[in-house]
A and B are shown apart, each in its own frame.
Chain A
Amino acid sequence: MTIDTIDINTIIHNYRPEKRFTLAILQDIQNKFNFIPKEAIFIISDYLKVPASDIYSMATFYKALSLKPKGRHIIKVCNGTACHIRGSNTLINELTDLLNIKPGETTADGLFSVEIVNCLGACALAPVMVVDDKYFGAMTKDKVIEVINEYKEAVENGK
């Protein structure tokens, strides 16, 4: 993937060059590229006058940030306590089987990333799964298959 440094520069210039905006800038970059490109770390470092190692340590510390590209659709399976005791593991196993990836990984076609998250605050709907920003509550094995197929079909039709 080629990284457009113009995009990175546009994003960082939305903020004043103050250290406190590091996380906000990194999150905007994550949103734009689906990951934090190496180039971005150095550009931010120059702009904020903060060592690149500090930016790197932020990028690896916060879960919202990733140094590896993520898939087009990000599937978050909630494993908060309420979801856990209502069977979120079944959903995780089903996704692992269905997509052939482990949590934290991205499918080879770049379509899906699966993440396990700790509580999305929708406990009354447990177990919960979120695809991008859409919530799916009271999930079961069968519903997981339905949802994944729905997204796969949408992508195929989009082509």
Chain B
Amino acid sequence: MASRKILVCCGTGCLANNSFDIYTRFLEKLKDTNTEVIPEIKATGCNGLCEKGPVVKILPDEISYFKVKAKDVDEIVSKTILKGEIIDRLLYFDTNSKKKIVSHKDASFYKHQHKIALRNIGEIDPKNIEDYKERNGFEALRKVLFEMTPDEVITEVEKSGLRGRGGAGFPTGSKWRTCSKYDNYPKYVVCNGDEGDPGAFMDRSIMEGDPNTVIEGMIICGYAINSNRGFLYIRDEYQLARENMQTAINNARKHGFLGKNILGSGFDFDLEIVRGGGAFVCGESSALMASIEGNVGEPRAKYIRSVEKGLWDKPTVLNNVETWANIPPIILNGAQWFKQIGTEKNSGTKVFSLVGKVKNTGLVEIPMGTTLRELVFDIGGGIIKDRPFKAAQTGGPSGGCIPAEYLDISLDFDNLSRIGSMMGSGGVIVMDDTTCMVELARYYMEFLSEESCGKCTTCREGINTMLNILNRITLGQGREEDIDLLISLSETIKDASLCGLGKTAPNPVMTTLKYFRDEYMEHIVDKRCPAGVCKNLTSYSIDPDTCIGCSACARKCPVNAIEGELKKPHVIHKDKCIKCGTCFTVCPSGAVKIGGGLIESYNK
């Protein structure tokens, strides 16, 4: 029998559910177990489906267990490992096919995926360089160093059509090409691991689960542009990513992939980790470079681009984590292979973090051009409680909302920009009818007003002013002229701010205004929040015809505002109600309705 492997997911999501205990329990248990071949136990990176974690996979049997607890380990060993029996209770229930599934590969969440950047994650122990080497790790580097000239490497990346996965989608090959032309040494290679978009965690997952691929991508770039030094700027909050990255760097040095005279080729390259300081704006390339230099992370005007004068005014190539992870497979399999995946101008795949009100939340990698509907419904399994899909937000605070009418849009850089959103780093936040679009816009403005570095007046003051207006609207004090004011502020901020943060800051407001203007008007004119989120504009009532009188709401109401006899319609006393929405959430029959709410305090 081929050697058995037990893969325990130890990504952040599963770790939070104590997966490390599962890993150690397996180690202990198998020490005392009598089997012919003791299985190999590995702590892997994130499997993507974090919500159903911790995940344990058994190979080569292809058995995947979800929501495993440490106390299940004994049973897994005695039944599955020793006797080959499957434990039904731990299998994944596929909400699309309504079946229990033995191998995760058959689940609709995984079946539609095409993994390039995430190819190794969940399959290998990220701290073990041998695991990476077993899966063609560092073969691309070897090919580059001994079979290709720097020019050929750049041409291959150009031909692949790879575009930067960090947001703007600038062609990676032409970035490298321009930088390679400057003879101003030393040049630098930088990895942007300052993933700050709320709702996006693909870079974290790659750095935690497959750090070696990032390192290999960066060395290849170093060779192509003739640079000997690279920096990985990793977000302060990502401790595990930093640890795994550092381990991988140390291992790569030991094995001769980093340092002087790599693999005897005569090429030198080394890497260093820089820890971010917890500032969103540092995800902007010039701010990031300022931060590495030991300055406050403020962006600069980019009359001269960083490929010419970047870090310490030297030519610099900066790419994000996911982009780097795509480089080794492109080199190994060739540009043609990459180009046939995805669409014509958007080749390859994109990793999305599918989160929010969707059944299967997690990380997915799909070919460019997949539709939003496939992503949300086929892979994501649809909306929680089968509520209606209202919108998806992509691109983080710089992006925008995509309403239901665009569910069939194919997801790529160009299409998303066309409808006013953007790819960003790939966060997709799914919203149902209980998400208020005005409040969402307010949330992003609050986020950006805190994260604006304060250099440009339009960004610093303009975002704040927009936030104040949106605060007023959500409190029920909106005025009809507010909408025009928001539009005019948006245009000014967009035109007169220096960096990407400011230029794109009004996007959440502009797209919600474009697609959900009625909802703004309801807040302003009718003083009603249809989603029931803005508490001042909401009231709850129970529809007597739908109410089954189960009294679930009355029992959960924190202020005892609901009365009624069992099996008879209940009533909410509006004078006592604090509009917490608990009754709405717990009602099994959908009898609690959201109404307009006016607000005595405001009417006074």
Q: Are B393 and A119 in contact (CB under 8 A)?
A: no
**A-side interface residues, number (CB < 8 Å):** 43
B274 close to chain A: CB less than 8 A: yes
Inside 8 A of B393's CB, which chain A residues have their CB? 81
Per the 8 Å Cβ criterion, residues 351-370 of B in contact with A are: 353, 355-357, 361-362
Query: Within the complex, which residue of B50, B275, B292, B447 is in contact with A124, where a contact is CB–CB below 8 Å?
Result: B50
CB-contacts of B431-459 with A (<8 A) = 431, 435, 440, 443-444, 447, 450-451, 453
Asked whether A133 is an interface residue with its Cβ less than 8 Å from the other chain, the reply is yes
Question: What A residues does B294 contact at CB under 8 A?
Answer: 18-23, 48, 50, 58
* Residues of A bordering B, CB below 8 Å: 18-24, 26-27, 48, 50, 54, 57-58, 61-65, 79-86, 117-126, 128, 133-137
Question: For the complex, is B17 an interface residue (Cβ under 8 Å from A)?
Answer: yes
Interface centre among A18, A50, A118, A121 (most CB of B within 10 A): A121
The interface size bin for chain B is: 35 or more
- Measured between beta carbons, the chain B residues less than 8 angstroms from A82 are 198-199, 355-356, 361, 429
Bound-state Cα–Cα, A93 to B197, Å: 24
Known: A121-B204, A125-B51. A80 touches B278 (CB 8 A): no
* CB-based nearest B residue for A126: B355
Instruction: Give bound CA distance, A18 to B447, whole Å.
Output: 33
User: Which residue of B is nearest A117, CB measured?
Assistant: B237
Cβ–Cβ < 8 Å partners of B280 in chain A: 118
In angstroms, Cα B197 to Cα A18, docked, is: 31
A121-B195, A124-B362, A135-B16 known; A19+B293 contact, CB < 8 A: yes
Contact A125 B291 (CB under 8 A): no
List 21 contacting pairs A-B, 8 Å CB cutoff, sorted by A: A18-B294, A23-B291, A24-B274, A27-B277, A61-B277, A61-B296, A61-B453, A62-B279, A63-B236, A81-B443, A82-B355, A82-B361, A82-B429, A86-B357, A118-B280, A118-B451, A119-B200, A123-B353, A123-B361, A125-B13, A135-B16
Q: Are B429 and A85 in contact (CB under 8 A)?
A: yes
- Complex interface: chain A residues within 8 A of B195 (CB): 121
Q: Say yes or no: B15 contacts A135, CB within 8 Å.
A: yes
List the A side residues contacting B279 at CB < 8 Å: 61-63
Does any Cβ of A come within 8 Å of B238's Cβ?
A: yes
B448, chain A: closest CB distance, angstroms? 10
User: Could you say which residues of chain A place their CB within 8 Å of the CB of B443?
Assistant: 81, 84
Contact A137 B199 (CB under 8 A): no
Q: Which residue of A lies closest to B17 (CB)?
A: A137
Which residues on B are within 8 Å of A, measured CB to CB? 12-13, 15-17, 49-51, 53, 195-201, 204-205, 236-239, 274-280, 291-297, 353, 355-357, 361-362, 393, 396, 427, 429, 431, 435, 440, 443-444, 447, 450-451, 453
Q: Which of A23, A120, A124, A128: most chain B CB closer than 10 A? A: A124
Contact, CB under 8 Å: A122 / B275: no
5 A-B pairs with the lowest CB-CB distances in the bound complex, closest first: A62-B277, A80-B198, A124-B50, A135-B16, A121-B201
Residues of B within 8 A of A50 (CB): 294
Q: Inside 8 A of B291's CB, which chain A residues have their CB?
A: 23
Contact B16 A81 (CB under 8 A): no
Contact (A20, B292) CB under 8 Å given A62-B278, A121-B12: yes
Give chain A residues whose Cβ lies under 8 Å from the Cβ of B237.
117, 120-121
Q: How far is the CA of A135 from the CA of B18 in the complex (A)?
A: 10
Are B196 and A119 within 8 A (Cβ)? Answer: yes
